[in-house]
Amino acid sequence: MNRSTSLLKTVFTPAARYHSALCTAATRTTGVSVSALAKSQSANACVQQRLTYSTEQPAPPATSPPKHVLPEKYAAFFRSLLKRFLPQYQAQSIGKMVYKSCSTYPDFKEFWVGECQLPETFQTWFSTTSLYVWMAMVRIRADTNSKHYNQGLIDQFFQDAEAKMRDSGIKSGRIINDTLKDLVQSFQGTVMSLDEGFARSDAVLAAAIWRNLVPVDEAVMQIDTVVRYVRQELQRLDKCEMSEITSGNFVFEPISK
């Protein structure tokens, strides 16, 4: 054992002494110990490694798998369902646009009140507006969704009638409801009479206009003017595209003799 230990000292002692001498020389030259220099180099290596990690571009996100596609038979079913119920949801907006053109007709005071000598009352306004609403309804009937569109138009008409009654000072809900019920029956009768006159002859149409719009003897001479005006406006509306009608992009011409 003593011999091996002395042999190890003999082999390694010169190398150890040489390494110690190098360390002492480096310390004297730079003023920094070898151990401190090693720690500094280790710290610099760590910083460089962190900078390398920070400058690396992030990996792109994994692409999500394609979403499930609805089978064509189910897609066709939902499209047909949407096509069936969509006109019902569009009816109110279309009715509002069409009614705007119907309610802004000219000649209310000039012709209906002035020449036909009708009193300027709510009932006169309702009767004359019914004529323009009816003419728009006749044109809309050519559309496959006319049932919904005409119902939306009628709803807007009666909402406007209710608003005018409330603006006139009527606050009782019972009176307003009873009046609206009477107006609904009156409007239905007017539409049926005008439809019959439109389908049959000018004489029947003139009788419908006299009963429902101009029930005064002083305005008998004006009925022929109204009949010709109704025929003329219906022909003009028939030349308009349905998209123009349902968007309210049309106007009624003034009544001229």
Number of neighbours of residue 133 by Cβ within 10 angstroms: 23
Flag the least confident range among 117-121, 156-160, 181-185: 117-121
Scan for tokens 């190098």, then name that residue: 22
Where does the pLDDT of residue 59 fall: very low under 50, low under 70, confident under 90, or very high at 90 and above?
Answer: low
Those residues whose C-beta lies under 8 Å from the C-beta of residue 213, and which sit 6 or more positions away, are 127, 128, 130, 131, 190, 226
- Give the Cα separation of 122 and 162 in Å (integer): 11
- Give the Cα separation of 93 and 100 in Å (integer): 11
Pick 20 or 179 by higher pLDDT: 179
The type of residue at 106 is P
**Token couple for 74:** 């189910």
- Give the Cα separation of 32 and 222 in Å (integer): 120
Q: What is the pLDDT of residue 106?
A: 83
Using a pLDDT cut of 90, give the percent of the chain over it: 53
* Residues present in the chain in total: 257
Where does the pLDDT of residue 32 fall: very low under 50, low under 70, confident under 90, or very high at 90 and above?
Answer: very low
Pick 22 or 66 by higher pLDDT: 66
Residue 126 pLDDT greater than 90, yes or no: yes
Catalogue the E-assigned strands of 45-101: none
Residue 250 pLDDT greater than 70, yes or no: yes
Concatenated DSSP letters of 90-133: HHHHHHHHHHHHHHT-S-IIIIIIIIS---SSHHHHHHHHHHHH
The type of residue at 166 is R
For residue 209, the SS3 value is: helix
- Give the Cα separation of 180 and 256 in Å (integer): 32
- Give the Cα separation of 235 and 228 in Å (integer): 11
Q: What is the pTM of this model?
A: 0.67
Range from 55-64, 75-84, 153-162, 164-173 that averages highest in pLDDT: 153-162
Q: Where are the alpha helices (DSSP H) in 141-201?
A: 146-167, 173-199
